[in-house]
Structure 1
Amino acid sequence: MYLLIFIIIGFVIYKWVTSDKNTTSTEYNTNLIQQQIKNVGKLIVTEGHYAQVMTYKDQQKYLMNLLTFEKKALIVINADVTVAYDLRQVKYDIDEKNKTITIVSIPKEEIKISPDIQFYDVDQSRMNPFTGDDYNKISKKVKEDLARKMETSTLKSNAKNRLISELSKILILTNSLGWKLQYENQVLENEQQLGEQVKL
């Protein structure tokens, strides 16, 4: 009889001690992961510089094209372009029971194009002078050209690589603690999978 009581008491004590340790361990791991996500939550900026030269021409014609007034200029453009990810806006969910971190959403990249436009060899007439509309059209065209160039350059891919590098810090930690990291309903096991899954 006494032996049975001792066994029951021993079992209860064992379960209590084991349960307490598991809870403490889970809370510790959760705090570590939250701290890592906080460390990753920053603004990462990838910068690029572009230079180009273009010629702008415009004609005004009168009297059934008998009179033509032309204006033209050589335009030199130097532009700074930045691609930024604000990782402070990453949304995630922590499932302590299943030891799973789910990345809910990743912010879209913010692209900023800042061109410095200089005019040279300006040739114009009183009948067709350069106006604010010309400068606006040139500025719009320059930004469109730069946006196209940026799409075919390595700037965006470099920015994405930096994003993946930061997010992989969470992946490394979760793996080391025996947790799982998932995004878009897929469990991510390595940095390559993370890079393939994060399509921006």
Structure 2
Amino acid sequence: MTQNKDNKPNFFRTIAKNRKLILLALLVIFLFLGYRYYNSNKEDTSTLDYNTNLIQQQILNVGKLVVTEGHFAEVITYKDKDKYLMDMISFEKKAIVIVNADVTVAYDLHLIKYDIDEKNKTITIKNIPKEEIKISPDLQYFDVQQSKMNPFTAEDYNKINKIVKANLAKKIEKSSLKSNAQNRLISELSKILIITNTMGWKLQYEGLEIQKETDFNQKIKL
């Protein structure tokens, strides 16, 4: 019993004697853990910044003018008649017009608007620009018939241009030109989807999470 009592004071004396060494060891451990924690957070932040910059660069690469071209041709006959003396006398003018038109459907992807949520690792496409349709008709006139009483004027040529463009617009709607342009648009947007999927981020558009290329079809309408 006496030996145990003697050892007890010796234990506390040993702790007291090495108190500074123990405190120094605890301080080293604390600093080491703090250093590991700091470096861990720093690495996460650096990785997040890197991922964000990479995604932004990919969106910039997508940001270009996507143009789909088509060609249309048609023949129209333009007629106009001036009547006098209660329609007893009339003067007619007419012409056959051959139309060759180049048409482009373009998407300016520089105008894409998006938001990056770094915390939730989510890219939200807020706006995709509408298609721009440009019609460039070349008109050739044949079998032009007119009179001094009813000659062709600038008003006639403007009217013919309007008729031609209206007819071409109907042809474009019935053709595959717009759908082809939309497919090219989706192909470009899918480049953003690929990079977000690769990096474990999410891509959203109009409330829908885009997980595959065909998901764009549900939201992008012709």
Would you say same fold, with TM above 0.5? yes
1:119 is matched with: 141
CA distance in 2, matches of 1:178, 1:197: 23
Q: Deviations over 1:44-94 (max 9, x none)?
A: 111111000011111111112111211111110001111111111111111
CA distance in 2, matches of 1:6, 1:189: 48
1:189 is matched with: 211
CA distance in 1, matches of 2:162, 2:45: 59
Q: CA deviation at 1:101?
A: 0.7
1:41 is matched with: 63
**Residue 108 in structure 1 maps to residue 130 in structure 2:** yes
1:157 is matched with: 179
Larger Rg: 2
Aligned pair count reads: 200
1:167 is matched with: 189
2:5 is matched with: none
Unaligned stretches of 5+ in structure 2?
A: 1-21
2:168 is matched with: 146
| Bigger mean CA offset, 8-17 vs 58-67 | 8-17
Bigger helix share: 2
Bigger strand share: 1
1:86 is matched with: 108
Q: CA deviation at 1:159?
A: 0.8
2:16 is matched with: none
Other structure's SS at 1:107 match: coil
CA distance in 2, matches of 1:86, 1:164: 13
- TM-score (ref. length: structure 1): 0.94
| Bigger mean CA offset, 16-25 vs 77-86 | 16-25
1:97 is matched with: 119
CA distance in 1, matches of 2:200, 2:38: 23
Other structure's SS at 1:74 match: strand
Other structure's SS at 1:78 match: strand
Question: Where do 4+ consecutive residues of structure 1 move more than 4 Å?
Answer: 1-10
CA distance in 1, matches of 2:33, 2:120: 26
Q: CA deviation at 1:7?
A: 5.7
